[in-house]
Each structure stands twice: as structure tokens, then as C-alpha cells.
Structure 1
Amino acid sequence: MDMNIAVFGDRFKQYAHLVGGITLSELRTALQAGAVVDEVYEVFQGVSKAALSLLQQQFALVGKSDQLMCGPDQEAVPQRWVHKAQQSNVLISPPREAGPKRFEMNLVVDHHNEMVLDHLSGFHVQGMVLIEAARQAFLAVTENYLLPHRQGAYYFIIERLDAQYHAFVFPLYCGILFQLTDQQDKPHKHSYEADIQFWQNGSLCTLVQVKYAVYEAAELLPKEQALAVAARQQQALEPRCATAVGGLST
């Protein structure tokens, strides 16, 4: 079967070579050496927007623009949408409405993402990457589509999260489906439940079910501050570190 040459960020070098692909660095080196073969190069995970833009310029310079292909929406949302300080740590594309309280987006993994910098085993995308992508999905959907009004800052609190892993997700195209299953709105608190599904090649790979609440910051911040001070005062009374079950460890 004829396939395009798959291009991955360097972090996925092991998978790239397994499937007969190439890393971004290897492709850039080939371009500089004039060694790009007469095939279509298809970009997958690990290539940032900036890196892709530079790659497109390099292909254009050698008259091979038609040999570089990008898949479905792989541009990440702005970091503020998912409460991140670094754009490289964003894991989702912009949500798009796909039905009543139903939204679709894509998984977007940057080569420099914090979740893959120090933990990458085997050929698949790690499960914790998907957990973080699910968190980002409900943040982006809720703030942009579900909250009844946007006045002031909000606090998001996860009340319950359950993950079911059915199959590996590999660093290829991966769709994310957000389905809101419950919503309760009160004056200072909004509660939500959602199913967040990760699909690849027509198969459900991971299901994350989450229950979370959104509070107005002005309402919750003083309470959190009081709890933070009380926690320090309580531990100051104990000579050793308390364990999770309330005992003392040496």
C-alpha cells in the first residue's frame, strides 16, 4: 500500500522510524542537502505551528510546496483558553460545535510539551497526556460555550475524574469528542458532567468522564485562602509529616 512519508516531531523518533517515517530534524537536514525524495510528506504530531511554517517555507524555496501535506486542524488554541503559561503545553485545537452540547476538536502534541519532555515509553502517546488533554477540552468548551456569562475570573474545580483506556493512541491524527451530560447553574456556582472521548482510526481509544464545578473567583478565593492558612497552622502543630490516613510517618 502506497503511503505518504510521515513526519513527526523529534520526540516521536522511535515511532517515526518504526512506520517508515522521518523526524522534523531529519527532514530539514534532507532539505538542506537537496535529498528530499519525490514523495508527499505528511505532518503528524510533534510539529508546532512555528515549526510547520518554517518547514513550508523551506519546501517553497526548493519548489516542492505541493509535496508537504498537513492533516485536519492541528493548530492549537491560545494558551489562555486552557490556563497554561506556555503555548507549547497546549494539547487541543479549537472546539467546534457538532450537535447539542457536543463539541469536536483534535489532539495536538507539541515536541516541547511538558507532558512528553521526561516520560515517553514505547510507541504510544502516554495516558497522562490524554488526561491533560481532557482537562484542557472541558476548560476550552466551558469558558467559550457553556458559561452563561463572563464577568470576572473563574475557578475550575475537578470533583471526579475517571479514565477508561481501551486502546493505545499513537502520534497520528486523533479526534476528541466532548459531550456534556449534565449542567446545573446556580448564582455563584456552575456544575457540569461530561464524557470526553479520544478517537483514532474509527476506534474509541480512551474515555474520560469528569464532573467539575466552576465558581466565581471572588466567591471562592477568600475561602481557599482561609483553608490554605489553616492547613499550614495545623501542620505546624505536628512534629512530623501526616500521612494520607491521618497517622504519622517518621
Structure 2
Amino acid sequence: MSDQHVHTICLVGDTFAGFADDETVYTVTAFVSAVRRGRFDDPRPLILWAGQGLDDYTCGYVTNVLRTRGIADRVIIQDAGLRPVPRHEAHKHREENVLVADLRRLTAEEYQARLRLHGNNELLVDHQTGQHVQGMVVVEAARQMFLAVTERYHASARPGTDWYYVINRMDVAFESFLFPIDAGIEYTETSRDLTRDDRMDFTARVRIVQAGRRAATAQIGFSAFDSAALAPKERRQARRALAATLTGRDAETARHGRLAAAPAGRA
């Protein structure tokens, strides 16, 4: 079948309306409206490539609209079918906030996953302008990637320990715009120290790639601690920080109070 006899478009969630300014890209709302107006009633097969911001619930809605219009039999939906990593690996309570999907190990140091953006992701609901995906999504995806890799392939080998993760450093270079379509996550462990029972140390490189180009590269150094050993230290630091803050504010309040009580014309 020749290309001129096939209608191909990309479908994205309504969150990415800024990206849908081309006749080959539709948001879900715009696509449903076009279907109901008869825009795709011609006999050409229609291929829908699923971009970001879609989920099973939304795809089911689109399928029903196509069926109601009577054209579902000649529409092919190329659904990415991404499988997000589980809650304990992403360290996210809500499934829509998980950015890493289809995680797999390639070699002893190399791992691969797909970027997965739900339309109601916490980083998108209050800020999404222009056509590209905001940079904080890249930062969070890199964070979730090192957590998921370490939980699945290292922490799981040490059962009975609740691990507490600490970022020691993170350097992110943004190299090109990232758009709300298919993108990969490449993870390389550049060093690891697993010699201690109560601690694991790593450095890693995370790359976000799309359409054969790097969108961003993150260099990360992080540690995983036995939470039973780290919690008391964190608690002591929290109390010291709170005490110093309250003491400083008490002094500031007292100083300003004296100033307010001073006679007019005197400092």
C-alpha cells in the first residue's frame, strides 16, 4: 500500500496542545471533534501514532468515537503500550507521575527505558508552554531512572533492607528540545561501590534521546543508605537546623521589637 493512500497522524494528550499546530498532529479533543465532523470519512486507511499524554482510558474513548462514526475498521492505532515501572522502583505514590517505562538491562553497566508522560503528570498540570516538554521533566526522569535501576538490579539483591537514597551531585546539560513523542532513556553506571552492607555508592550517566538525537545528558552521583542507620543522623540534622532557625528568628524579632519601641527619631 503506497503512502499517498494512507492518512497518518500523531495523537497527543490535550496537555500538549502547543505541539499540535501541524496538520499531522492532533490533541485528543481536536481529533474527536474532527472525527465527528467527518474529517476522516474518506476511504483511506488511517494510522494513529500514539504520542505522549495518552493512557488506556483515553485510547478507549478514542476507539469508541471511531466505532460510533463507523470508521474503526480502517483505523490502526499504533499504541506504544508502555509499561511503567512499579511504585517501589519509581518512588512515586501516583501512577500518573511515573516517567520511566519498559526498563531493561542491556549489559552489566548499561540499561534502557522509555520516557512515559501521563497527561496529568505533576510536572505538567501547572506549566506547559510552547511545543517542547519542560526541562524539569528531564531532571525528574533522570532521578527516577537511577532509582528504578538501583532498586531492581541492586537493592533487590539485598532483601530485608529499606534503602534511603541521597543525591550527592547532579549536572544536567540540555542539548536539544524534547517533544511529546516517543523518547528513550539510556543509563550507564560509570562507577559503583557495593562493598558495605549498609551503603551503596554510584555514579551514572543518563541520556534522554529522541529521533536519533540527545535531548539531555545528566551526570549523577548518589548513595543508598540503610534507612535504619541514616534516619537518626537525618533527625539530628533536622533538629539542629530548626533550632538555629528559631533562635535566629527570636533574635531578629527581639531586635525589631526594640526598634519599634524606640522613641521617634532614634535608631
TM-score range, shorter chain: 0.7 to 0.9
Whole-Å separation in 2 of the counterparts to 1:53 and 1:103? 32
User: Does the residue aligned with 2:141 lie in a helix, a strand or coil?
Assistant: helix
Contact 1:73 1:93 in 2 (8 A): no
User: Does the residue aligned with 1:40 lie in a helix, a strand or coil?
Assistant: strand
Provide structure 2 residue ranges, at least 5 long, that are not aligned to the other structure: 253-267
Q: Residues 64-118 of structure 1: CA distance to partner in whole angstroms, max 9, x if unpaired? A: 2552323545332233321112111111103111222211111111111111111
Alignment of 1:143-162 (within 5 A): 143-147=151-155, 148-162=157-171
Q: Which residue of 2 aligns with 1:107?
A: 115
4+ residue stretches of structure 1 with deviation over 6 A?
A: none
TM-score, structure 2 normalization: 0.82
Contact 2:103 2:111 in 1 (8 A): yes
Alignment of 1:6 with 2:10, yes or no, is yes
Per-residue deviation at 1:17?
2.2
Structure with higher Rg: it is: 2
Alignment of 1:1-250 (within 5 A): 4-18=8-22, 20-31=24-35, 35-37=39-41, 38=44, 39-59=46-66, 62=70, 64=72, 67-147=75-155, 148-185=157-194, 186-239=196-249
Contact 1:8 1:47 in 2 (8 A): yes
Contact 1:59 1:68 in 2 (8 A): no
Whole-Å separation in 2 of the counterparts to 1:81 and 1:141? 8
Q: How many residues align?
A: 242
User: Does the residue aligned with 1:181 lie in a helix, a strand or coil?
Assistant: strand
Per-residue deviation at 1:241?
10
Provide structure 1 residue ranges, at least 5 long, that are not aligned to the other structure: 243-250
Per-residue deviation at 1:146?
2.2
Cα 1:217–1:119 shift into 2, 3 Å = same
Cα 1:25–1:238 shift into 2, 3 Å = same
Identity, in percent, stands at 26
Query: Cα RMSD between the aligned structures?
Result: 2.4
User: Does the residue aligned with 1:237 lie in a helix, a strand or coil?
Assistant: helix
Whole-Å separation in 2 of the counterparts to 1:169 and 1:224? 36
Whole-Å separation in 1 of the counterparts to 2:127 and 2:105? 33
Contact 1:199 1:205 in 2 (8 A): yes
Contact 2:47 2:78 in 1 (8 A): no
Whole-Å separation in 1 of the counterparts to 2:101 and 2:236? 37
TM-score, structure 1 normalization: 0.87
Cα 1:52–1:79 shift into 2, 3 Å = farther
